[in-house]
Structure 1
Amino acid sequence: MSSTPMAVQTRPFAVEPVTNVMLPDGVFDNALYKLRIACHYTNTGTTDLTNVSLYLESIGDPGIVVTGQTYTFARIPAGASVLVSWAADFQNATPGKPLVSFVAKADGFTSFRTIRQIFVSQTRYNSATDTYSITVPEGRLDISNVTVIPPAPGGWWPGPKPGGDKQSPWVGPYVPTGMTMVWVPNPAYAGIHGDLPFADPWYKVLAWLVFIIAALVGIIAAAEGSGTFNLGIEGTFDDTDPGLDISCCTPASGVGSDGTSVAGVAGVIATAALVVALADSADPYWRGQAATPPAAGELTTSERVNARWTLLDEPRAGKAYRTQVAWDYERTTTGASYHYGVTEEQTNIHVTKEVKVVTPDTVTSSGSLWVQAVFTRPDSTVFSGPDLYSFALFQAPQGLFFLVPLTDDGLGFDQRASDGTYTGGLNLREAQAVLKQAGQSTTGIWKVYVFGQDVNRVAPGTPPEIAAQTIGGFFVGSAIQITFDPNLPCPLEAQGTIKVI
C-alpha cells in the first residue's frame, strides 16, 4: 500500500488570530503569545482522495505549545490545496527554525509525514533607549530613530467600544518614513556577505515584522485589553517625520462591531511602505555588503543602515505606489569602517490589475451568503490555490462582522480547485444565534469586504540570496486603503452587497 499523496510543499506561515492577518513573510515572533500555524496541504496525486485526515504531529521546540486538532475531509480533489491551521502558544518559543511534523492519511493509503521548518524570532522593546530589537539565530537587528506619518487624532476602535476608561482606542495606523537599523551578526564574520536571517529573507523583513508586531499589540490591547498579548512591546511610535505636515486618514465609517481584522489590514498596508522603500531584489544590507568588501583578515562586527524615504503616492494595497529613498550603509570591522550610500526610487511590485468580486443579489434568511473573488496579476494571470491567504468579511445590516476564509480548493462553496476563484460562504441559520445575542437581525443589506495576502511559495532548499527576493504577506487586494487626508475616512469600500429577506 502506498503513502497518502498529501504534502505541505512550502513553509508554514503565522496568522495572528485576533486580527486574522498573516505576519510578514509568515514569520512567527514570541512577542505575540498566541499565533496560528497555518499551511496549505496539497493533494499531489492524480486522483481525488477520500476520507482524509490531517494533523500536526509534533514540533521541534518544546517551548511552543500546540493545541491538537485533526482536520477531516470527505474528499480532496486531485491537485487541490486545503488551508488548515493550529492554535499555538509561542510565549516560551526560542528564536530559530524548529521542524514541524504534519501527518496525512486517506482511504486506501498509509499515513504520510511531511517535515517543514518554521521561522521564529524574538522582538523586545527597550524604553530607556527607545530601541526595538529583534533576535534570530544569525544575529540581532536594533531599530531606532523611527520617523512616521502619524494617524489622525482620535484613534480607531477595532472592537466593540468599551464601557469604561480602562481601555483606549488603537492609535494607528503609522506609515514609516525612516529609521536606523543596526545589525549585530552572531558571530562576527569574514568576507563580503554574512548569513541572511533564517538563510532566507532580507534583513528588512525583520524590520517590517517589528512594525507589524507593534501595530498588532496596539490593536489587540484596544479590542481585548492589555495583558497576555503584550510582552515588552509598545504599540505606538512617537517621532513624527519633521519634514512632513500630513497624517493618515481617520477611521472608516462603520469600523467597529469587532472590526479587528479591518484595523489589522490597515496596519499591515501602512507599514509595508518600509519594505517597498528598501527594495525586493536586494535590500540595503546586501547591497552595502557587496559595495564594501573588507580587507583580508578583518571580521565584520556590526552594520548600520540609516534610511529615509518619501512616499510619492499613497500606500495603496495592490497598487504600484512609489517611494523616493536615500540610505547610507556602514560596515564596522575589527580593522576599519566602510561606507556606501544610495538615492533612488522604488515601486511596490506586489500588485494586482483587478480584483473581481461576485455575490448573489438576494438570499433568504434561511439560506447562505457567498462570495467569489478573482485576483488578477498585471500580466493577466490569476492567483490560484495556495498563492494567497484570503478572507472575506460579511457585515450584517446592524454592523456585526463575520469572517470567512476564501479558498480555491474545490470544497464547500468553491466549485473547482485551483481555478483562480477564491470562494467562501456564511450559513445564515448558524449566524442567527450570534446576531440574536447582539440584538441584531439577519434581514436587510449585508456588505461584503474581500482581502488577500500573497504567500511565500519558494521551495525549501532554494539558495538564500534567491529565496530572499520573494517576500510574502503583502496585501494584494484589500477593501480598506490608506490615504493622507485626515479629514476623510480611510476608504472602506464594500465590493459587494447582498439583500437578505
Structure 2
Amino acid sequence: MSATPLQVLTRPFAIEPVTSIMLPDGIFDNAIYGLRIAAHITNLSSSALTNVTVWLESVGDPGIAPVARTHYFATIPAGAAMLVMWDANFQHASPGKPLVSILARADGFTPRRSIQQIFVSETRFDATSNSYTCTVQEGTLTVSNLKGHLPGKRWGQTGPDGKECVCPPGGGPIVPTGLTMAWAPNPAFPGLHGELPFADPWWKILAIIIAIIAALVAIIAAALGAGKASFNVGGSVEETDPSVTCCSLEGASSGEPEYTVAGVASAIASVAIAVACSDAADPFWRGQEATPPAAGELTVGERVVAEWTMLEAPNAGVPYATDVSWTYQRITTGATYSHSVTETQTNIHTAGPVDVEAPPQVQAFSPLWVRAKFHREDGSLFHGTDLYSFAIFQAPQGLNFVIPLTDDGLGFDTGANDGVYAASLSLELAYRLLLKYGQTVYGRWRIFLFAQDVNLTKPGTPPEIAAQHIGGFFVASAVEITFDDTLPCPLKAQASIMVV
C-alpha cells in the first residue's frame, strides 16, 4: 500500500487557548505555559479519504509536553486542509526550532509522517529595570522605555451611551507608540548583517511577541488566576494621548468571551509596532545596511530607539498610517555607528469586506451555522489555509461559544478550499451548558467573526525573503479600537439568528 496522501505543508503555529488567538507569526513562547500546537493537514490527492486519523507523534524538545489526542475524520474531501490542534505545556521549553512529527492514516493507505519545525522563544520581565527580554537561539532582544496609549475611561465602565464595556482589569489594549530595542547577537558577527531570529522573521517580531505576551499574561491571570505564566507583568508603560477604548460582549455571564475580545484587541493594538517598523525591512536590517563596520570589526550589540504617532486608530485590515522616527546604533569591537530615519509607514496587512450568510431563523435544537467570505483588498478571497478564523455564537442571555471557522468542505461548508469559511453550533450540546447557567436556547443569537492570516512561507526560503512574510495579523475582527470615548461600544455582530 502507498502512504496516506495527507501532509502538513507549512509551519505549525501557536494558539493561546484562553483567548483563542494565534500568537505573532505563530511563534510559541514559554512565558505562557499552556499553548496549542495548531496545523493544517492537506489531502493532496484528487479523491476523498475515509476513516482518517491524525495524531501528534513527537516533539523534538523534551521540555514540551503535549497532551495525547487523536483526531478522527469520517471523510476528508479532495484538496481539503483540516485544522488540527494539540494542547501542550511549554513551561520547560527551550528557545529554538524543534521538530514536530505528525502522523496521518486513511483507509487503504499506510501512515504518513509530516515533519515541520516550530519556533519557540522565551520572554521574561525584569521588575528592577522595567524591561522585557525575548531570547531565541540567535540572541536576545531587550525592550524598555515602552510608551503607549493606555485603556480609556470606557474600558470596564459605563460610557455616555449607557452601555458597559466589560473587559478584565489590566487586559489592554495598549497601543504602543514608542520603545527601545536592544539586540545582543549570539555570537558577535562580522560584516553588515547578523543572523535573523529563527532565520526567518525580522527582529521587530520579537518586540511584538513581548507586547502581546505582556497583555495575554494579564488576561490569562484575570481569567484563570495566578500561576499560569512565568513572569510578572507589573511593568509600567508611559502613557501618551489619546487613550484607547474598546468594548467587550455585553451581558457575558459565563462563556467569558471578554477574554477572547480583550486578546483580539491587544493583538490588533500591538501590531502598531510592526506597522511603525515596516515590513519590507525593519530598522535593524535597514540600520545595518546604512552602517557598514570597518574591516575586522565584530558587531557585539545593536540598539533601536523608535517613537511614532498614530494618525488613525489601528484596526484590523485597515491601511492606517503612522508617523515614525527611529535611530539605529551598531556597537562593534572598534566603534559605534548610527543611522536615523523619519518617515510615514502604512499598515499593509489589509483586507476587503466580509460577506456573511446565516439563517434568519431556525427551529429549536437544529444547528446554528454561519458562512463567511473574507475578501482581500483586491477583491479576491482568502481560502483554505490562508486564515485561522473563528466565530463567537452569543446566546440570547449572554452565554458565548467560540467555534472554529474552516474552509474544509465539511459540515455546513459548501466546498473545500473555495473561500467560504463555515462554523456551526449544535444547540443540543449547547443546551446542557445553557441549563447549567439558567439560560435558554430561545431568542436572538448574535454572531461575531474574527480572522488572522497564516504564515505560509515554504521551508527553505532565504531568510531575508522569509522575513517579509509574517502571519498572525487580524484581517477581520468584530471589535474595533477607537480613540473617541463618545462613540458607541465598537463591537458589532455580523449576523444574528432567531431560535424559535
* The two structures share one fold, judged by TM-score above 0.5: yes
SS in 2 for 1:232: coil
Which residue number in structure 2 is paired with residue 248 of structure 1?
Answer: 244
* 1:239 CA displacement: 1.1
Distance 1:107 1:196 in 2: 43
Report if aligned partners of 1:170, 1:218 keep a CA contact under 8 Å in 2: yes
The one-letter code sitting in structure 2 at the alignment partner of 1:185 is P
- Farther-moved stretch of structure 1 (478-487 vs 11-20): 478-487
The one-letter code sitting in structure 2 at the alignment partner of 1:106 is A
Distance 1:235 1:475 in 2: 27
* 1:87 CA displacement: 0.3
Distance 1:368 1:480 in 2: 25
Which residue number in structure 2 is paired with residue 348 of structure 1?
Answer: 347
The one-letter code sitting in structure 2 at the alignment partner of 1:16 is E
Which residue number in structure 2 is paired with residue 233 of structure 1?
Answer: 232
* 1:171 CA displacement: 4.1
Report if aligned partners of 2:479, 2:492 keep a CA contact under 8 Å in 1: yes
Report if aligned partners of 1:252, 1:489 keep a CA contact under 8 Å in 2: no
Report if aligned partners of 1:390, 1:405 keep a CA contact under 8 Å in 2: yes
Distance 1:493 1:296 in 2: 58
C-alpha RMSD over aligned residues:
1.4
* 1:352 CA displacement: 1.0
Provide closer, same or farther for how the CA distance between residues 449 and 287 of structure 1 changes in structure 2, counting only shifts above 3 A: same
Per-residue CA distance 1:405-461 (angstroms, 9 max, x = gap): 000000122120000000000011110010110111110111000000000000011
Report if aligned partners of 2:247, 2:479 keep a CA contact under 8 Å in 1: no
- Farther-moved stretch of structure 1 (450-459 vs 346-355): 346-355
Distance 2:319 2:271 in 1: 12
The one-letter code sitting in structure 2 at the alignment partner of 1:332 is I
- Farther-moved stretch of structure 1 (246-255 vs 278-287): 246-255
Which residue number in structure 2 is paired with residue 139 of structure 1?
Answer: 139
Report if aligned partners of 1:31, 1:233 keep a CA contact under 8 Å in 2: no
Misfit runs of 4+, over 6 Å:
none
* 1:44 CA displacement: 1.0
Which residue number in structure 1 is paired with residue 64 of structure 2?
Answer: 64
Distance 1:294 1:16 in 2: 41
Which residue number in structure 2 is paired with residue 109 of structure 1?
Answer: 109
Provide closer, same or farther for how the CA distance between residues 412 and 395 of structure 1 changes in structure 2, counting only shifts above 3 A: same
Distance 1:328 1:169 in 2: 34
Unaligned residue ranges in structure 2 (runs of 5+): 158-166
Which residue number in structure 1 is paired with residue 205 of structure 2?
Answer: 205
The one-letter code sitting in structure 2 at the alignment partner of 1:305 is V
The one-letter code sitting in structure 2 at the alignment partner of 1:190 is P
Which residue number in structure 2 is paired with residue 464 of structure 1?
Answer: 463
Report if aligned partners of 1:480, 1:490 keep a CA contact under 8 Å in 2: no
* 1:365 CA displacement: 1.2
Distance 1:396 1:236 in 2: 37
* 1:366 CA displacement: 1.4
Q: Which residues in structure 2 correspond to 1:1-400 (within 5 Å)? A: 1-153=1-153, 155-156=155-156, 169-227=169-227, 229-234=228-233, 237-241=236-240, 244=241, 246-252=242-248, 254=250, 256-257=252-253, 258-259=256-257, 260-400=259-399
The one-letter code sitting in structure 1 at the alignment partner of 2:232 is I
Per-residue CA distance 1:160-193 (angstroms, 9 max, x = gap): xxxxxxx972342100000000000000001100
Per-residue CA distance 1:254-285 (angstroms, 9 max, x = gap): 16331121111111111111111111110000
Number of equivalences: 488
SS in 2 for 1:148: strand
Report if aligned partners of 1:454, 1:472 keep a CA contact under 8 Å in 2: yes
Q: Which residues in structure 2 correspond to 1:429-440 (within 5 Å)? A: 429-440=428-439
* 1:250 CA displacement: 4.6
Using the size of structure 2 for normalisation, the TM-score is 0.96
Provide closer, same or farther for how the CA distance between residues 322 and 475 of structure 1 changes in structure 2, counting only shifts above 3 A: same
Provide closer, same or farther for how the CA distance between residues 414 and 469 of structure 1 changes in structure 2, counting only shifts above 3 A: same
Report if aligned partners of 1:201, 1:469 keep a CA contact under 8 Å in 2: yes
Distance 1:457 1:49 in 2: 24
Distance 1:123 1:489 in 2: 36
Provide closer, same or farther for how the CA distance between residues 88 and 156 of structure 1 changes in structure 2, counting only shifts above 3 A: farther
* 1:237 CA displacement: 3.6
